[in-house]
Amino acid sequence: MGMAMITNVALILCAVLLASGFGTNALTYDYSANIECLVNPESAQYMGGIIENPEMKDGLKGWFPFGSAKIEHREESNGNVFIVAHSRNHSYDTFSQTLHLHSNIIYTFSAWVQVNEGKADVAAVIKTRRGYEHVAVTVAQSNCWSFFKGGLTVTEPGPVELYFESNNTKVEIWVDSVSLQPFTQEQWRAHQDQAIEKYRKRRVKIQTLNKEGNPLPNATISLGQWRPGFPVGCAINRNILNNSPYQNWFLSRFTTTTFENEMKWYSNEQTPGRVDYSVSDAMIYFAKQHNIAVRGHNVIWDDPEFLQGWVKSLSNTALYRAARRRLNSVMSKYRGQVIAWDVENENLHFNFFESKLGWPASGLFYNWAMKADQSIPLFLNEFNTIESSGDAASSPARYLQKLDTIRKFPGNRGGRFAIGLESHFGPSPNIAYMRSAIDTLGSAGVPIWLTEVDVSNSANQAYNLEQVLREGFSHPKVNGIVIWSAWAPWGCYRMCLTDNNFRNLPTGDVVDKLLKEWGIKGSITATTDSNGFFEASLFHGEYEMKISHPSVAKSSIDAQKFSVLPASEGESEQQSPLLIQVEF
């Protein structure tokens, strides 16, 4: 190949990368997600990104049959055009597009999908030389278009095939407005930093004045956050009681917790009728002593593996009464002492109570919970909703369907419902899918917490933990995080932060680094300018401020406390600085 040809190829490649979002003026991330099933699909995000013919306006151009399906281009009466896969014999019989993906690039996916009858799970899949990777999954319906999002990070460059699949081979799969948008790792991190600045911080101006009300320059201001506006907590268990090293390690970092097992039904009522809250009471007392907020976990666990034998042996009538006694007992016991309840745990993967009491059981439990305590959010706690793009049982669409069913149960309108995402990640977290799944869940308009965050042990465990925590903290729809790392002499559930002498492991170092970076631990010291002002962008939370000046006796200066709250609706966090004036 001649030099001129090489130059031309390089120029073309450069142009493609710039157009695809790799340039310095790359597209910002689109956090939007539509959970309504619409008559008409919306336009493709990012104008389709690297997808050829994303809105099917050029017939089947770029799209080819996959498997033994037959495909065709159709037009609805309103003029909308799309592609269809029919005559399907296998789950993968649909259509595909061949793409060339780059290593260490994050790709975010979205599309609109419909089936010709009923409902069916439909997934988007990437076929590589090494295998298959699910990118996204949703529940498609007939007579309207459903939007779904996902993504992946490519570790090996080369050609791939993007295709769609459904285990229901009786349905036709209709697809429109497909997008696959690439972002570099640096751009993805920039999205996080921009979101943190926009949603987690506020400009604050502090002015020091003398007794005459005149500006006091060169005053020294020291700020420390004593309670964060965004909770980042860690689970604890009974081992923290009477264990000073464990207590010191925990209390120097966290102001929020969840009890690992001590509030669960099998811990409180091992024998029918003999309810024992002694351990959870002691842990609640410890939390109160140290101003630690506690999430209640959990009221009902649907996995039969974690139900007492006596519960599983009950008749349906007796089970109904036992479940109601359990809920009223634990929720009335700790009313006013917890900030939230995981009312049902893992109800998308398991359905013990619904199998015995009928499908309305979940809605009924939340109805009881509302009557027991309407003052705090009631969570549906689930795993794999953001961790696994291939688990259709707990996909964002399935989660929102279940939440909608609970909210529509008679008497549940107006309840304070919330989304609990366990966040037990494997050795290679799919951060692109995590973000897109939270985008979708965020459209429900209820609080979202990452409730049990850990990552599998691997050579990159600390790095992976940082990626997950950073993604959760920066997402505008997430309201809190609890790390699932309660310590025990024999180890932790899946991930420890310390050794048995409470010296940090690499995972613990990551947590400490982020707590400091996010203003939760650490302090700021600065000097006021000639007009007595100090200005900074501070994280939301409760602060203690100490001020000193050579002209003022130390005995006359008291520590000041103030709150940095999010700007009111319609205000910009950065354009509406909080003004604090201190006179002394």
Write out the catalytic residue numbers.
Answer: 346, 452
**C-beta separation of 564 from 539 below 8 A:** yes
Number of H helices, E strands in the chain: 13, 26
CA 365, CA 167: separation in Å to the nearest integer?
32
CA distance 259 to 255: 13
**Of 335, 327, 424, which is closest to residue 375 (Cα–Cα)?**
335
Residues 110/142, Cβ–Cβ less than 8 Å: no
Q: Identity (one letter) of the amino acid at 545?
A: M
Which tokens sit at 30? 């689109």
Cα(50)–Cα(105) distance, integer angstroms:
13
Q: What whole-number distance in Å separates Cα of residue 489 and Cα of residue 477?
A: 36
Q: Which two tokens stand for residue 22?
A: 């790799």
DSSP 300-351: EE--GGGS-HHHHTS-HHHHHHHHHHHHHHHHHHTTTT-SEEEEEESTTT--
Q: Is 305 exposed, middle or buried (0-12, 13-18, 19+ CB in 10 A)?
A: exposed
| Residue 542 burial (10 A CB sphere; 0-12, 13-18, 19+) | middle
Burial annotation 11-20 (CB, 10 A radius, 16+ → b, else e): eeeeeebeeb
d(CA 366, CA 299): 10
Residue with tokens 């961790």: 387
Contacts of 492 (CB under 8 A, 6+ apart): 485, 486
441-445's contacts with Cβ under 8 Å and 24+ in sequence apart are 441/385, 441/386, 441/396, 441/399, 441/400, 441/477, 442/31, 442/33, 442/475, 442/476, 442/477, 443/33, 443/34, 443/35, 443/400, 444/35, 444/400, 444/403, 444/419
The rounded distance, in Å, linking the Cα atoms of 287 and 237 is 12
Question: Following DSSP, what letter does each residue of 254-311 receive, concatenated?
Answer: -SEEEBSSTTSHHHH-SBTTB---HHHHHHHHHHHHTT-EEEEEEEEE--GGGS-HHH
Rounded distance between C-alpha atoms, residue 542 and residue 561, angstroms: 7
Which tokens sit at 92?
């993968």
Taking alpha carbons only, the member of 162, 186, 19, 21 closest to residue 100 is 162
Instruction: Say how many Å lie between the first and final Cα of the chain, rounded.
Output: 78
